[in-house]
Structure formats: C-alpha cells, structure tokens
Amino acid sequence: MQDLHAKPGHLIRRCQQIAVALFLEACAPQDLTPMQYALLKAAEAEPGLDQITLAGLVALDRSNAARLCAGLEVRGLLQRAPDPLDRRARRLSLTPAGAALLRAAEPAVAAVQQALLAPLAEAERAPFMAALAAIAAAHNGASRAPLRPVEDQLRG
C-alpha cells in the first residue's frame, strides 16, 4: 500500500475528495456543491453566455452542465433563455437570488481554500498552486471535459 500512497494520481484524487468534503460542509447552509458554485461564478463573470460555452469555462461536460444548470434554474439561481439565433442553445444569466447566494457563500468558499492550503508554509503555497496549474494545463487535453477559455471557444 505504501507504493499506492506515493503515486501522484492517488494523492491528487485524495486531495480532490478532501476538497469536495470541506466545500460541502462549509457550503451546506447554501445547499451548494463545488460544480454549482463554479457554474454560478462563470455565469456571474460572463453573463449571457450559452450553456455549452459556460460548461467549457469550468471544465464540465455538456450533459452534466445541462443537468446542473436546469437544477440551478429550478432553484431560481440561474435564468436560461433561448438563444434568438439558435433555438437549441440556452443563454445563461445569474438571477438576483443567484448573486445573493454567491455573496453568502463567498466567506465559506474562501475559508475552504485557506483550509486546503493550511498544511503548507506560506512560502510553499504559491509554488504549489503554480505546480497544480502547470499539471492541469499540460494535461488539459486528456480530460473528458477540458477547460476551454471563452476566447478559444469563440475562435473555433
């Protein structure tokens, strides 16, 4: 078992499990999951984007994005409107209730980020984050749901 616990893939998976558990606990009062939060933040940052483009911004596959967006719409946090140029597409915008939920969740989300990095010395945190970003960027294409910046999606 020692060999398993020394593998980066296993450790990354464990850290992901821990990050989700901490997030769910901290954001339980808002009934918010990490992916719901990501979609709401993306809708806040890029109002009026279509659902597929928004999914690419948060590295989420289309079917999960559609399911999550529908649930957020039912809760009154997102508004999905048909695209006037493409009836199949849905344009997303954050509702006032969605904006209020994000404001209410922000302190908990920030606390989770701090808790995740707490085991590291202050000087280790920036290099650790840079290393995680480098790994994610280098292997982005291998993901079933790659991160797709808006600029890349609009170009092609």
Asked if residue 146 lies in contact with residue 52, where contact means CB atoms within 8 angstroms, the answer is no
Q: What is the DSSP string of 97-108?
A: HHHHHHHHHHHH
| Amino acid occupying residue 154 | L
88-127 pLDDT tens trace: 788 899 999 999 999 999 999 999 999 999 999 999 999 9
For each of the domains in the chain, give its residue range(s) and CATH number, in order of start. Answer: 4-141 (1.10.10.10)
Tokens, residue 85: 């140029």
Q: What is the reported pTM?
A: 0.89
pLDDT in tens, 16-67: 999 999 999 999 999 999 999 999 999 999 999 888 888 999 999 988 999 9
